[in-house]
Amino acid sequence: MAKEFRFPDVGEGITEGEVVRWLVKEGDEIKADQAVAEIETDKAVVEMPSPYAGTVLKLHFKERDLVKVGQVLVTVGERGEEIPEGVPAAAGRGEFRPAAPAAAPAAAARPAGAGTLATPKVRAMAKELGVDVGAVEGTGPGGRVTEDDVRAAGDKAAPAKPAPKVKAKYDLFGSLERIPLRGVRRTTAKKMRESVDHAAHVTHCDEADAATIAARRDKMRAEAEAQGVKLTYLPFIVKALVEALKLHPTLNAALDEDEGEIVVKKYYNIGIAVDVPDGLIVPVVKMADEKSVLEIAAEIQALAKAARERTLDLADLKGGTFSITNVGVIGGDAATPIINYPEVAILATMRIAERARVENGAVVVKTTLPLCLSFDHRVVDGAEAARFTKDLIRFLEALEGP
């Protein structure tokens, strides 16, 4: 008997995915737990294993189509078996359309001789067109309803065909290119909108003296390279960040809006925003407080590589308590990052560079690290955010040990 493999709920509030690639074709014999498709879900590409063995009778979506949780991906059965009626196919490339509403039942036909004059042939035509012959005004002799009357009533009752949607390829100033909002870019857009809708964003900026962190990195670089690890400033920032979060726990929290409670996390899972060609992916360094600088560096390197190659496990994207976006690797002195909701704060680390600063009345050149902290003002006050940033700077400037 044919079985329907539906797109499962993979957690984390994911409601849809995009078919990246089919790994089987119609007519193939498959085993139970064999991967049949690669589906791009919430910032990760995952293989979908079929729970059934048998012959692939139908693939219900094309590559690059969007599929909703609960929709049928594949129908599996015995070779030559017909697909049972009621198995929904994809509702058009890249979109999900609900089933058309059932036509309203026609009013009960008037009994013969009840005042409507119409031949059996005309009544049969009215029934076929879904027209209530009793409601049609007859134009024939004695008010008799004719075939033309029924056709005219059918034309009026028929829903107007929607006009074809035309997408302009040009405007008044030149040609246009339309890029589908799909995959990571689509997920990024939804997450950013969700964050802006929920959190009261405020950004606080400050600056750290980067001399200590630079010296520490130079001292440990050879050891890191011997272990195959490229050592950046980011692991040192993570270590200092965790210490600052311990002093300011409300920045390592989430707001339970339904219960009206601030939920403080007693663990430190730091999300690291990774720039990929079509958006941002935020894998999470778990239990960062229990790891050394080199361990954090190795994990960030592995997670970033997996993010760019789209081989991350969904578990790598879960459980974050605070996020960092390292804008400085590209450049810039300030930013206003969007909070990675439902977290309540995110830190943008900017470009470490030599800058002219006034010290003891004299202009000096110092290597500095600008820091921009966005926070949810519903949970964190501005004064608390400033104190947190000052403590973060203190830990960065006095960083010791691995």
Q: Are residues 271 and 386 in the same domain?
A: yes
Catalytic sites, residue numbers: 377
Instruction: Tell me which residue has tokens 């050394």.
Output: 292
Would 33 be classed as within a structural domain?
yes
Q: Please report, in tens digits, the pLDDT of each residue of the chain (402 residues total).
A: 789 999 887 666 677 888 989 999 999 999 999 999 988 876 577 888 999 999 999 999 999 888 888 899 999 998 878 776 554 444 333 333 333 334 444 434 444 434 578 887 788 888 877 888 888 888 887 788 888 888 888 777 665 555 566 677 888 899 998 888 887 888 888 889 999 999 999 999 999 999 999 999 999 999 999 999 999 999 999 999 999 999 999 999 999 998 999 999 999 999 999 998 878 899 999 999 999 999 999 999 999 999 998 888 888 999 999 999 999 889 899 999 999 999 999 999 999 999 999 999 999 999 999 999 999 999 999 999 999 999 999 999 986 544
Counting every residue written for the chain, the total comes to 402
The number of distinct structural domains making up the chain is: 3
Would 85 be classed as within a structural domain?
no
Q: Are residues 207 and 306 in the same domain?
A: yes
State the CATH number of the domain containing residue 141: 4.10.320.10
pLDDT at 11: 63
Would 111 be classed as within a structural domain?
no
Cα–Cα distance measured from residue 270 to residue 277, given in angstroms and rounded to the nearest whole number: 22
Would 266 be classed as within a structural domain?
yes
Nearest CA to 383 among 398, 368, 393, 373? 373
- Do 203 and 370 touch, CB atoms closer than 8 A? no
State the CATH number of the domain containing residue 215: 3.30.559.10
Q: Are residues 145 and 275 in the same domain?
A: no
Q: Are residues 244 and 134 in the same domain?
A: no
Nearest CA to 26 among 68, 81, 71? 81
| Domain ranges, residue 45 | 3-77
Q: Are residues 142 and 212 in the same domain?
A: no
Q: Are residues 138 and 279 in the same domain?
A: no
CA angle 163, 168, 169 (to 5 degrees): 140
Please give the span between the terminal C-alpha atoms of the chain, in angstroms, as a whole number. Answer: 61
- Do 12 and 42 touch, CB atoms closer than 8 A? yes
State the CATH number of the domain containing residue 12: 2.40.50.100
CB-based burial label for 58 (10 Å; 0-12, 13-18, 19+): middle
Q: Is the dihedral of CA 196, 199, 201, 205 positive or negative?
A: negative
Alpha helices in 227-292 (DSSP H): 234-247
Q: Are residues 254 and 384 in the same domain?
A: yes
Amino acid identity for residue 129 in this structure: L
Would 110 be classed as within a structural domain?
no
Q: Are residues 385 and 300 in the same domain?
A: yes
Q: Are residues 143 and 202 in the same domain?
A: no
